[in-house]
Amino acid sequence: MSETQKKDVIIIGAGLTGLATAYYLKESGLNIVILEKDDRIGGVIRTYHEDGFVFEAGPNTGVVSNPEVAELFEELSDSCKLEIANPDAKRRLIWKSGQWHALPGGLLSAIKTPLFSAKDKFRILGEPFRKKGTDPFESIADLVLRRLGKSYLDYAVDPFISGIYAGNPSNLITRFALPKLYALEQNYGSFIKGAFKKGFEPKDPRMKKATREVFSAEQGLGSFIQALGTSIGENNICLNAENVEVKAQHNQYTVNASIKGKAVAFEADYVVSTTDAG
């Protein structure tokens, strides 16, 4: 066993969450290390360049839903540029029953669209009057089924979640994945009532950065990941970390791992896990 390395924070997982966490902790002056099981950083985000084209194997876009997103790109602007989707591309098409259908952008189109069932269209009228959920770990799928209906899950929410998270809405916890949606129900009792009331609330000037625009990064989201990795520093990221074991003792954490067959050990006051529960 090699000598135990002292760190302030050990982060397990080098997906976007782990990288962003490491970036801000390092910017705050803390000594950090990331342990990643794969041979690359980025998690489900993976960009390919081929024959002059850029395509994503994971999430293809994000949404500027809070000012932190815009501010992070501002800080990384020397190595990564925010790219906002062309306004002409707001028309999103969803495949159903052998045809493409435009995702509704307003009340009239939502009523006329064949994407949502007649039953669910009628059920939406009762959404403001349904009881709010009590499970803080309710999945996005369960929340949408409870408040809106299956057709909204299948043809609106699922495509959105696939594009943003490359994940399954049944496995994502609303409170963490879509905190603003969760807050609408918890604070106002309804998505519709919450959206209506929030429209009249005064906004913090900083919140103007949360434009709700769809974004990527120039040359793909992989360039965003690379910019984070460069800022964090290669020497602070351990790839191919296997058999990671966390032990707590006397207000300290010891993390043992195997990296390319070599045993390593770290000790820190804090450990942040950004991997899934499995």
Q: Per residue in 80-107, pLDDT tens?
A: 999 998 887 778 889 999 999 998 877 7
DSSP state of 234: G
Residue-wise DSSP of 115-173: SS-HHHHHHGGGGGGSPPP--TT-BHHHHHHHHT-HHHIIIIIHHHHHHHHSS-TTTSB
Helical segments of the chain, H only: 16-27, 67-75, 107-112, 118-123, 140-147, 150-152, 158-165, 174-177, 179-188, 191-198, 221-232
Ramachandran angles phi, psi of 30, nearest 5°: -85, 150
> What per-residue confidence (pLDDT) applies to 259?
92
**Vertex 210 angle, CA 182 and 20, to 5°:** 80
DSSP state of 104: P
Contacts of 206 (CB under 8 A, 6+ apart): 67
Evaluate whether 138 touches 174 at the Cβ level (below 8 Å).
Answer: yes
pLDDT classification of 108: cutoffs 50, 70, 90: confident
Domains, the chain, with CATH or none: 5-85+218-273 (3.50.50.60), 104-207 (1.10.3110.10)
Q: How many Cβ atoms from other residues are within 10 Å of residue 260's Cβ?
A: 11
The burial of 95, by beta-carbon neighbours within 10 Å (0-12 exposed, 13-18 middle, 19 or more buried), is given as exposed
pTM: 0.77
Say if residue 38's pLDDT is above 80: yes
Ramachandran angles phi, psi of 94, nearest 5°: -120, 135
Amino acid at position 76, single letter: L
Evaluate whether 240 touches 37 at the Cβ level (below 8 Å).
Answer: yes
The overall average pLDDT reported for the chain is 91
Say if residue 277's pLDDT is above 70: no
pLDDT classification of 110: cutoffs 50, 70, 90: confident
- Residue 143 CA to residue 182 CA, distance in Å, equals 9
Evaluate whether 33 touches 7 at the Cβ level (below 8 Å).
Answer: yes
pLDDT digits (tens, 9 = 90+) for 143-156: 999 999 999 999 99
Number of H helices, E strands in the chain: 11, 15
